[in-house]
Amino acid sequence: MQIDLEKEKQEIEAAFEGLVKSAVHAKKDAATKKRIRKAFDVAHEAHKDVRRKSGEPYIFHPIAVARICAEEIGLGATSIICALLHDTVEDTELTIEDVKSLFGEKEAKIIEGLTKISGVVDANISLQAENFKKILLTLADDVRVILIKLADRLHNMRTIGSMRRDKQLKIASETLFLYAPLAHRLGLHSIKSELEDLSLKCQEPEVFEEIQSKLKKTQEVRTRFINHFSAPLKKALEAKGFKFEMKGRPKSIYSIWKKMSNKSIPFEEVYDLFAVRIIIDSEAENEKSDCWQVYSIVTDFYQPNIERLRDWISAPKANGYESLHTTVMSPTGKWVEVQIRTKRMDEIAEKGFAAHWKYKEGSEESQFDKWINQIRELIENNDANALDLVDDFKLDLFSDEIYVFTPEGEMKNLPSGASALDFAFSIHTEIGEQCIGAKVNNKLVPLSTPLKSGDQLEILTSKNQRPKEDWLNFVKTHKAKSKIKSSLKEEKKEIALIGKAMLDKEFKRLGIKRENISLNELKKHFKETSDIDFYYGIAKNTIQLNHLRDFEVKNGTLKLKRTFPNRLKTYFERKKPVKSERKDEILVIGDNMEKIDYSLANCCNPIPGDEVFGFITVAEGIKIHKTTCPNSVQLMSNYAYRVIKARWIEKEKVDFLTGLKIIGIDNVGIVNNITQIVSNELHVNMRSIKFESYDGIFEGTIMVFVQNTIHLNNLISNLKKVEGVKKVERIDS
């Protein structure tokens, strides 16, 4: 196909002009506009011969990323310049020194940060947990690096359709694993929601399309409902002299899908598909009182559910979010969430960090600053397993918050479900490590006691106390977990020295010299990965030295009597992620491949017809998972080098176990009707059947053997036709 280069040139210039219009600073300052133009010219020249997977010139990508930074995050000229140049140092001849001489120290530092973590968060390479600390350290150093990376990922997700299917799944998994949580914590609500929606669209396109279609069909009904609900409120607010905007904000498709999945309900039963948002124009000193006045007007017309009141104006969320949420009963008998906030609060809720700084006054440390400082402290003093760091960090990101108080009345933010021990560590590491008990509201309670908003705590300590392993079972915060693990590790090292001495003594008894021993051979045999764990096991007697009988002494050297071949390493395992994947590296399931051991994962029970991937485990061969498996996001994000493409091939008819959940009205003979269809009509073998009935409703689980998804869907379709059956769905286990 002939490319019209002149037309492309015009389109590139138009795209750049669109960027300049969205850059507020460039409009007001000619010098700033000139610097942005210079960055564009440098990037355009550097990427001139490169095209994206879609076939378009590469320069469209940095322009789009810069525009997201300007329009959707609200960043200034420095970030726009860096966004335009974000891939140049890594992918072209341009160097950090070139950037420094052309644009300055600040820009060079940000580009260097972007280049340093490009191998960690690049669109073509899966995220490795071991590099997670690098990302967070960069965030703690200059948050703009992460904001530009978020814009980069958002554009990559918007244009993901031109990539290979396996790459799409990998990138979508990373997005849900890291980028959406970071956007959430940085207060970028719109970007977080879009990243989640685009990931769902990629992973489960049919589900996404179905929810999107139903939202469109019900749009008119929702609009009428919102207009009817809002009419009396608008009149009352105008009478009180408020300047305001009122709109209905629909839930994101991803959040609707999560609610449907978590509660096992259809789309029609998700009642809170939207919220009514009231945004008032208010002076800074009157914001709080104005919001509560609006709340009073809303509750004059509609009865509130007191348990659903959320006051994030008096105590903002850690990411700076401020709003007053209440749920009220509408005239049609439906609960409706009403969000009340000012223009300033709304801008911070949508654009997060950038807007937060715009409105910040004075030198008072903000919640956001505190969070950045916590990240810096945690990472610089943390030597924990990288995967644990990721998991704990994400827990902190997504938890709802509670507010508790010290004896002096100082307020502390903690994640929902945090214990008295979490509170102790939040005050000081030493107080946490020496904590023996706590008084909550003047009453002595165990350390594991979960806290509630409003609790006042006093921590009791003893210099003889040391952290215990069971403490990890009831702490929620990353700080508490990492400090406990660090302390336990030190204690473990001391015990491991005793184990090492015990092993040396045993070798001396056997007459074996230390230099003739393969410690790796011993660790492998006793299934330990580190020296410390191995010696610790000996000291604790979980590794018994009499098991050395599995070895023999030959010429003064310890040798294993028998060897255990590892069939996987030679065939598939790769130690490092590679940029280009061989297209022939694919596992065909159902084919008679003697070289490969594989089995179906119990967590999702895949059957022929499901989209699947293979995962190389350490001890159990290759496990086959559905791409929609609950564990797939973590596996694809953290262990991409152990993930292999897989597809089904049906050479012979084999039955696979899967489960069905059936709900309906408890009529006489309904169980018999169901089993009749399963066993007699469709000749499906049942492994187990369990039915329970309560208050006229029955719920049943049947484990059946089917040949593939077509066979299963046929069974589900027939069961739905049984009178009284209201819902049939597949369950993983």
Domains and CATH numbers, the chain: 5-203 (1.10.3210.10), 214-359 (3.30.460.10), 399-476 (3.10.20.30), 486-556 (no CATH), 586-648 (no CATH), 656-731 (3.30.70.260)
The tokens for 122 are 């690049």
Rounded Cα gap, residues 31 and 696, in angstroms: 75
pLDDT for the residue numbered 473? 87
Which letter does DSSP use for residue 724 in this model?
T
pLDDT for the residue numbered 577? 40
Q: Which amino acid is at 507?
A: F
Element (H, E) at 716: helix 709-720
Quick check: 423 and 409 in contact, CB under 8 A? Answer: no
Buried b (16+ CB within 10 A) or exposed e, 429-441: beebbbbebbebe
Rounded Cα gap, residues 199 and 637, in angstroms: 13
pLDDT for the residue numbered 575? 36
Residues of the chain with pLDDT under 70: 1-2, 25-27, 116-141, 353-400, 512-518, 546-597, 619, 650-654, 681-683, 695, 733
Residue 214, SS3 per DSSP? helix
| Closest residue by Cα to residue 504 from 559, 550, 562, 548 | 548
Quick check: 664 and 698 in contact, CB under 8 A? Answer: yes
Rounded Cα gap, residues 153 and 174, in angstroms: 10
Quick check: 521 and 560 in contact, CB under 8 A? Answer: yes
Residues 6+ apart with CB under 8 A from 147: 69, 73, 75, 79, 186, 353, 354
pLDDT for the residue numbered 2? 64
Residues 6+ apart with CB under 8 A from 149: 114, 117, 121
The tokens for 389 are 């760091």
Quick check: 411 and 457 in contact, CB under 8 A? Answer: no
**Pairing outcome for strands 622-626 and 612-616:** antiparallel
pLDDT for the residue numbered 395? 53
Which letter does DSSP use for residue 139 in this model?
H
pLDDT for the residue numbered 398? 52
pLDDT for the residue numbered 572? 38
Residues carrying an active site annotation:
90-91
Q: Which amino acid is at 652?
A: E
pLDDT for the residue numbered 568? 38
Residue 351, SS3 per DSSP? helix
CB atoms within 10 A of CB 505: 10
Rounded Cα gap, residues 625 and 611, in angstroms: 9
| Closest residue by Cα to residue 340 from 301, 401, 403, 293 | 293
Q: Which residues pair with 697 in a beta bridge?
A: 665, 694
